[in-house]
């Protein structure tokens, strides 16, 4: 940790870049105590690691600072100094007596107090939710920033994101979503935006980097986000998933595979219209391949051209699948609640653009043409080729 108190209650904060001689002098004259548990702590002034305070072995501190890595301490120190440079009142390791919580940094910006948590190691969702709600109850805006080490880029624009990562999702004023992270080694903010998930653990996303030297707080609280997706790349990832499901099926996918075989469909012969990217797909944990296939089976396949179906009908099928846990949604504690059905509506509106359905009024659609199901691999490849040529630009920038 980076703050401690002296015997007479004075606070010593290592966020001020003291010289080593000054700290050596302090150390020779003062004793230091943990502001949280009151136990004695030692000021470490080694040349290898950054200067910090450390509890004595065996001490029991509620906040267990000792698990803090240098990466974490470096990061919060840089973030703290970054706020000070912008003349934003900030307190490092502020201990809020009332809620017995200690955000890494407390700061006030535009008359709003913020609790910044720089999270470099995974924590249980329960703890995340508990801390978040106690900050909110005490009038803070919780600002959780991921340690950039926690973000695993699989390849360009493809990331492996778990439920833990999605807890950190933030919303811009314009309503775009992004995941903020910070790397103290590169001194860079790395913001993932335009996140479109295609399986429980994988998603496409756009990168945005800001150096802490150039970026101001607005870049972090309200970054520019631009939706963009490469349909061909998207499709090639889906193909890998099909293969993976068949080779290593889990019970959930088994029930899906069983369902589609029952309807004479084959995972490898799904038409290109099923499994399309939409903006809000991240609100549904279940892959778009699965929920879009269900929509096809429950509604579209049962209609004839010119038939009308209502949004309510689609909603009923969606919630029925949800109740049976065939469709699972994601929770995002830091943003305003979003109805996951939004993703389904976006998909229907995309099918409208593709000329498969047509929106009738506000609450109904008409089937214009049935989606044709390829009968062979060759036919499917042909269909995909034509589909991509025709719709790639439109789907890439919805």
Shortest Cβ 127–Zn ion spacing (Å) = 18
Taking the CA of residue 337 as centre, how many other CA atoms within 13 Å lie in the half-sphere pointing to its CB?
A: 3
Q: Where are the beta strands (DSSP E) in the chain?
A: 3-6, 11-13, 32-33, 40-44, 52-55, 90-92, 105-109, 112-119, 141-147, 152-155, 158-160, 170-171, 177-183, 188-197, 202-211, 308-310, 357-360, 364-367
Shortest Cβ 299–Zn ion spacing (Å) = 58
State the pairing for strand pair 158-160/202-211.
Answer: antiparallel
Between 36 and 289, CB nearer to Zn ion: 36
Between 34 and 77, CB nearer to Zn ion: 34
Between 59 and 249, CB nearer to Zn ion: 59
What's the rounded Cα separation, in Å, for the pair 285 and 291?
Answer: 10
Shortest Cβ 1–Zn ion spacing (Å) = 8
What's the rounded Cα separation, in Å, for the pair 388 and 367?
Answer: 22
CB 115 within 8 A of CB 140: yes
Between 50 and 61, CB nearer to Zn ion: 61
Shortest Cβ 122–Zn ion spacing (Å) = 23
CB 395 within 8 A of CB 229: yes
- The residues pairing with 53 across neighbouring beta strands, listed in sequence order, are 43
Handedness of CA 287, 291, 292, 296 (dihedral sign): positive
What's the rounded Cα separation, in Å, for the pair 157 and 136?
Answer: 33
Between 42 and 371, CB nearer to Zn ion: 42
Cα–chain center distance at 307: 39
What's the rounded Cα separation, in Å, for the pair 71 and 65?
Answer: 13
- The residues pairing with 283 across neighbouring beta strands, listed in sequence order, are none
Shortest Cβ 12–Zn ion spacing (Å) = 14
Between 37 and 383, CB nearer to Zn ion: 37
What's the rounded Cα separation, in Å, for the pair 194 and 213?
Answer: 25
Shortest Cβ 4–Zn ion spacing (Å) = 9
Instruction: Count how many residues are written for the chain.
Output: 398
How many CB atoms neighbour CB 335 within 10 A? 11
Between 61 and 364, CB nearer to Zn ion: 61
Between 61 and 88, CB nearer to Zn ion: 61
Shortest Cβ 46–Zn ion spacing (Å) = 20
Shortest Cβ 102–Zn ion spacing (Å) = 10
Shortest Cβ 104–Zn ion spacing (Å) = 15
Shortest Cβ 256–Zn ion spacing (Å) = 50
- Say what angle helices 231-247 and 251-262 make with each other, to 10 degrees: 100
User: In the complex, which residues of this chain contact Zn ion (CB under 5 A)?
Assistant: 34, 36-37, 61
Between 33 and 391, CB nearer to Zn ion: 33
- Residue 16's contacts (CB-CB under 8 Å, 6 or more residues apart) are none
Between 33 and 164, CB nearer to Zn ion: 33
DSSP structural state of residue 212: T
Q: Is 187 exposed, middle or buried (0-12, 13-18, 19+ CB in 10 A)?
A: middle
């Amino acid at each position: 940790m980076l703050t401690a108190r002296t015997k007479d209650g004075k606070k010593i904060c290592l966020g001020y870049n003291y010289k080593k001689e000054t700290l050596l002098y302090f150390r020779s004259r003062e004793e230091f105590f943990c502001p949280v548990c009151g136990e004695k702590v030692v000021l470490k002034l080694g040349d290898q690691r950054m200067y910090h305070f450390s509890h004595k072995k065996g001490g029991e501190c509620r906040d267990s600072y000792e698990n803090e890595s240098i990466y974490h301490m470096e990061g919060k120190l840089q973030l703290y100094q970054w706020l000070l440079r912008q003349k934003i009142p900030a307190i490092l390791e502020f201990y809020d007596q009332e809620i017995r919580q200690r955000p890494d940094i407390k700061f006030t910006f535009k008359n709003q107090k913020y609790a910044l948590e720089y999270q470099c190691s995974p924590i249980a969702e329960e703890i995340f939710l508990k801390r978040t709600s106690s900050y909110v109850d005490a009038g803070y805006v919780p600002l959780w920033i991921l340690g950039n080490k926690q973000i695993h880029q699989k390849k360009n624009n493809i990331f492996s994101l778990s439920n833990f990562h999605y807890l950190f999702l933030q919303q811009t004023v314009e309503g775009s979503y992004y995941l903020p992270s910070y790397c103290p080694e590169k001194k860079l903010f790395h913001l993932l935006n335009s996140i479109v998930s295609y399986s429980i653990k994988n998603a496409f996303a756009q990168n945005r980097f800001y150096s802490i030297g150039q970026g101001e707080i607005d870049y972090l609280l309200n970054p520019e986000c631009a939706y963009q997706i490469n349909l061909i790349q998207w499709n090639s990832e889906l193909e890998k998933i099909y293969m993976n499901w068949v080779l290593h099926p889990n019970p959930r996918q088994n029930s899906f595979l069983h369902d589609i075989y029952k309807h004479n469909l084959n995972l490898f012969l799904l038409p290109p219209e099923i499994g399309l990217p939409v903006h809000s797909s991240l609100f549904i944990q279940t892959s778009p391949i699965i929920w879009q296939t269900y929509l096809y089976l429950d509604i579209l396949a049962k209609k004839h051209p010119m038939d009308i179906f209502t949004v309510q009908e689609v909603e009923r099928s969606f919630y029925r699948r949800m109740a049976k846990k065939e469709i699972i949604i994601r929770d995002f504690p830091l943003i305003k609640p979003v109805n996951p059905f939004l993703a389904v509506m976006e998909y229907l509106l995309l099918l409208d653009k593709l000329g498969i359905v047509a929106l009738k009024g506000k609450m109904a659609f008409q089937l214009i043409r049935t989606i044709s199901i390829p009968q062979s691999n060759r036919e499917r490849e042909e269909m995909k080729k034509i589909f991509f040529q025709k719709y790639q630009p439109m789907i890439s920038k919805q």
